Structure 1
Amino acid sequence: MRAAVSGTVVLVLIGFGAAVVASIVTPGGERVTVGQSAAAGSPSGHGDRDETGDRGEGPGDDGGGEGAAGDGAGLAGAPAARAVFVHITGAVESPGVVELSEGARVIDVVARAGGAADDADLAAVNLAREIVDGEQIHIPRVGEHPPDAPAAGPGSSASGGGAGGTAAGGVVNINTAASAELETLPGVGPALAGRIIAWREQNGPFRSIDELLAVSGIGEKTLSGFRDRVGI
């Protein structure tokens, strides 16, 4: 009987000692194998650290995806340029109606029409002028005179509306005339002709003959000297 009691006491003491050792070693975080319980606890600690590492990488991946999506949205919002149509005639390889983007110049129209012909008089045309939707541009040939057309009265359109800008009868279209044609008007020299062209390129076509008064160097007296010789 005493032997049984002694054995029981020994077992209890051993179990108590194991519990004390486990309670001392486990909080310290040392990798010490203490029975089966300590060995089983070690993988659990590694698993916690791995899981934390995985969670740390997740937000970074998500952030990269959001950045790529933002770039795509910016590209999709770019506005498309408005199309304009111009009728080009005269000394070009392929005269006719051409389509360009808003803001194109006369030189772009010539290029779209296949380029200028060998005998084109490009010096008579303002190649840098910004085009207007629906206009007609005529590229004259060397030595060519303006085509015959009825004389246009003040405030009316000159026939053809082309880059030549001068109709039969001496009426000059102030919206399309080149510098040389503007200089045929009384009181208009190269400098004033240049200011007229610069004004219409910056502000668009003249809407009336009186709008010429907005050009520096043109007053009532100068305008009255050639009013009956210009049109729009």
Structure 2
Amino acid sequence: MDRIKEIIDEYKLKIIITLFVIIGILLIALFIMMTGQHSDQSDSVQNSQMSSTNNMQHANQTSEGMHRHYQSEFIDIEGAVKRPGVYQFTNNMRIDDAVNLAGGLNSSADRKHINLAKKLIDQQTVYIPVKGEIKGIPQSVNDNGDSGSGSNSTDSSNGSGKINLNTADVKQLQTIDGIGEKRAEKIIDYRKSHGNFSKIDDVKNISGIGDKFLANIKAHVTL
């Protein structure tokens, strides 16, 4: 028993130092483990925030795309183009772009009376004339880039104050006394189906239009 006490007394200091070392190692290991867990949690939070941000950006892009979809604009291009019809267009597009959407100009198209640089407008009707259809010298382009006073690519009044039955759109036709929206649409539909009027009297070929109506409008229209 005395021998054991002597051994303990002899190695007491070493035993204490060893215990401190072991405790220190345990504390360091515990600290490392806690630090690692905190780092993992931080990474998880950061990844979650990044994922949330990406989802919000995607949602915003989707919302913007839907907004643009519902703001779609359309134009009706007729006349001497390869594929006449209604086409969707975007902001800042020109008549030249509309012509390309319609397959390009026919060989019979009269380029001298077309302002290809004019901006497109929603619900606009663009009519491309054939050679010889419009008489006279083409109007000079004004400061706004328009080649005429109408919304079409050609001048629907020909500078005479009269409305051109072959180029006027629905709104322009309605400026004539006696022509409402329905009659204007009938004139446009007839023109699309049968081509341009060769004489003003051809208007009587349209259902619901007779001699009395022709007499009322004859002084206000031209070809």
TM-score (norm 2): 0.50
Percent of residue pairs bearing the same amino acid type: 23
When residues 128 and 23 of structure 1 are mapped into structure 2, their CA distance, relative to the original with a 3 A threshold, is: farther
What secondary structure does 1:136 align onto?
strand
Q: Is the 8 A contact 1:88 1:136 kept in 2?
A: yes
The aligned amino acid for 1:116 is: L
**Runs of 4 or more consecutive aligned structure 1 residues displaced over 6 Å after TM superposition:** none
Match of 1:163 in 2: 153
C-alpha RMSD over aligned residues: 3.8
User: In the alignment, which residue of structure 1 is the partner of 2:215?
Assistant: none
Gaps of 5+ in 1: 1-6, 30-37, 147-157, 178-232
Aligned equivalents of 2:154, 2:120: Cα separation in 1: 14
Alignment of 1:45-194 (within 5 A): 45-46=28-29, 48-78=31-61, 79=64, 80-81=67-68, 82-145=71-134, 161-167=151-157, 170-171=160-161
- Unpaired runs of at least 5, structure 2: 136-147, 169-223
Superposed displacement of residue 62, structure 1: 3.4
Which structure would you say has the larger Rg? 1
**Counterparts of 2:15 and 2:118, CA distance in 1:** 93
C-alpha deviations, 1:169-215, integer Å up to 9, x for none? 72389xx99xxxxxxxxxxxxxxxxxxxxxxxxxxxxxxxxxxxxxx
The verdict on how the C-alpha distance between 1:59 and 1:98 changes in structure 2, with shifts beyond 3 A counting, is: same
Which residue does the alignment assign to 1:25? 18
Distance 1:129 1:169, change over 3 A: closer
Instruction: Name whichever of 87-96 and 110-119 sits farther off.
Output: 110-119
How many residues align? The count is: 147
